[in-house]
């Protein structure tokens, strides 16, 4: 088969040839390489970029060097661009026990990105911090749960970009038009018939874990027999109300972790499923009768828990409020981190929610995520969480034994120090 060359506009051709500087020309080369690999016929303008590869724990000195080279070449973004979580809370790192040497390198990473014009949002939920993409808007986002949420819940269009390709898109405002940017590639080929009820946030995660494992990088179309959101409505281009927004972010995050699901539809609920038939005629059917296999696969036999983690993906304001309500009048014995964006933390602080959690002994931690922070250096060995994504990654990425359960179970554990 003869591959057609990528059709560039005069402006794109000029950028490739260096009209916008050396860094933009290098960025165009990265995007063109992806376009050729995936058979894209043209590039599309993107409204924003969300860039992974921020934690110094993952980047190391080689990654920092790579960023400094881009900065030396004059890298500057030309569209709104945001960062994924860093390896620490950028202001309260000392109170978390982060070593000074790590903090120094982490701050350098964020400073290099900021000098390029990127907003140091350091969050995997930019849509909860004012960056809500429009329906059908093209994006270049890289964090898997954010990609899933943008595609599925908001009906925007993004492939899962790597850190360098999202950075390249931020610099030239384009991405290659392939995959989820195209109508035909957004049809679901797996119908998921959910027969059991979904009664807690962790149930969304357990369901996502089971489905992600089975469909891998496919697109599932959920049909819920007992839909917990019956009667809930919201406009296209808007965020759904709670607790749905938290449930859907946990569902998508889990499927992106146990599989590589970047888009899902929910019958009668998500925007594209509301507007048209998104289920392929030859879709395979999978039935889910109960979630117990998901819960048992994500639990290890550990009873003494060092750390309770809530906020994967980063907690919404309501999730922080629910934690505060569960802790009211109690003192915790395990450590508790509620991870969130700096923006949401500030909002929670202004409403007295941070004070309430701190009074019980917990911490509301901004800018970071346990999976990309040096938690082993902090002496933690076991973790309890209500996030299936966190439960899936913590054993392999940071070597912690994990308990996975509802928010109520996690907070109960934090107060007693024992997983019941």
Which residues form the interface with ligand F3S (CB under 6 A)? 85, 124, 143, 145, 253, 312-314, 339, 369, 371, 389-390, 393
For ligand F3S, which is the closer residue by CB, 55 or 334? 55
For ligand F3S, which is the closer residue by CB, 305 or 369? 369
For ligand F3S, which is the closer residue by CB, 249 or 265? 249
- Minimum distance, C-beta of residue 122 to ligand F3S, in the bound complex (Å): 10
Q: Which residues contact 168 (CB under 8 A, 6 or more apart)?
A: 26, 27, 28, 30, 31
For ligand F3S, which is the closer residue by CB, 313 or 405? 313
- Minimum distance, C-beta of residue 44 to ligand F3S, in the bound complex (Å): 26
- Minimum distance, C-beta of residue 263 to ligand F3S, in the bound complex (Å): 16
Which residue's Cβ has the minimum distance to ligand F3S?
A: 369
- Minimum distance, C-beta of residue 42 to ligand F3S, in the bound complex (Å): 31
Q: Which residues contact 119 (CB under 8 A, 6 or more apart)?
A: 80, 81, 82, 83
- Minimum distance, C-beta of residue 172 to ligand F3S, in the bound complex (Å): 25
- Minimum distance, C-beta of residue 369 to ligand F3S, in the bound complex (Å): 3
End-to-end CA distance of the chain: give it in Å, rounded. 60
For ligand F3S, which is the closer residue by CB, 124 or 323? 124
Burial 231-258 (b: 16+ CB within 10 A, else e): eeeeeeeebbeebbbbbbbbbbbbbbbb
Sign of torsion, CA 250 253 257 260?
Answer: positive
- Burial (CB < 10 A; 0-12, 13-18, 19+), residue 275, is exposed
For ligand F3S, which is the closer residue by CB, 154 or 279? 154
Separation CA 194–CA 250 (nearest Å)? 16
- Minimum distance, C-beta of residue 32 to ligand F3S, in the bound complex (Å): 29
**Which 3 state secondary structure label does DSSP give 214?**
helix
**In contact, 265 and 151? CB cutoff 8 Å:** no
Alpha carbons within 13 angstroms on the beta-carbon side of residue 28 total: 20
**In contact, 260 and 217? CB cutoff 8 Å:** yes
- Minimum distance, C-beta of residue 82 to ligand F3S, in the bound complex (Å): 13
**In contact, 131 and 82? CB cutoff 8 Å:** yes
């Amino acid at each position: 088969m003869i591959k057609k060359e990528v059709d560039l506009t005069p402006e794109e051709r000029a950028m490739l040839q260096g009209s916008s500087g050396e860094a933009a020309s290098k960025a165009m080369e990265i995007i063109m390489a992806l376009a050729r690999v995936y058979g894209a016929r043209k590039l599309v303008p993107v409204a924003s970029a969300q860039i992974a590869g921020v934690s110094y724990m993952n980047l190391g000195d080689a990654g920092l060097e790579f960023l400094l080279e881009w900065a030396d070449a004059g890298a500057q973004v030309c569209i709104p661009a945001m960062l994924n979580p860093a390896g620490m809370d950028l202001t309260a790192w000392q109170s978390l026990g982060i070593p000074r040497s790590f903090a120094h390198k982490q701050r350098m990473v964020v400073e290099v990105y900021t000098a390029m014009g990127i907003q140091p949002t350091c969050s995997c939920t930019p849509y909860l911090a004012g960056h809500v993409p429009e329906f059908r808007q093209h994006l270049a986002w890289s964090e898997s749960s954010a990609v899933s949420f943008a595609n599925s819940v908001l009906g925007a269009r993004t492939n899962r970009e790597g850190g360098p390709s999202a950075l390249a898109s931020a610099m030239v405002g384009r991405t290659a038009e392939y995959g989820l940017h195209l109508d035909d590639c957004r049809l679901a080929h797996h119908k998921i018939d959910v027969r059991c009820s979904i009664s807690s946030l962790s149930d969304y995660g357990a369901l996502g874990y089971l489905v992600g494992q089975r469909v891998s990088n496919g697109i599932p179309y959920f049909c819920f027999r007992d839909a917990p959101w019956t009667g809930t409505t919201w406009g296209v281009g808007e965020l759904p109300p709670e607790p749905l927004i938290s449930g859907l972010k946990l569902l998508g995050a889990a499927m992106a972790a146990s599989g590589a699901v970047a888009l899902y539809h929910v019958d009668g609920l998500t925007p594209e499923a509301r507007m048209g038939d998104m289920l392929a005629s030859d879709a395979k059917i999978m039935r889910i009768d109960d979630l117990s296999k998901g819960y048992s696969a994500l639990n290890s036999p550990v009873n003494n828990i060092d750390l309770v983690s809530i906020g994967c993906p980063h907690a919404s304001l309501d999730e922080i409020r629910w934690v505060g309500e569960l802790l009211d009048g109690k003192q915790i014995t395990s450590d508790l981190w509620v991870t969130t964006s700096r923006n949401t933390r500030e909002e929670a602080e202004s409403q007295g929610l941070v004070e309430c959690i701190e009074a019980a002994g917990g911490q509301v931690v901004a800018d970071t995520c346990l999976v990309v922070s040096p938690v082993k250096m902090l002496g933690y060995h076991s973790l309890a969480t209500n996030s299936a994504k966190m439960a899936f990654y913590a054993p392999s990425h940071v070597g912690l034994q994990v308990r996975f359960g509802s928010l109520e179970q996690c907070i109960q554990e934090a107060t007693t120090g024992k997983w019941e």
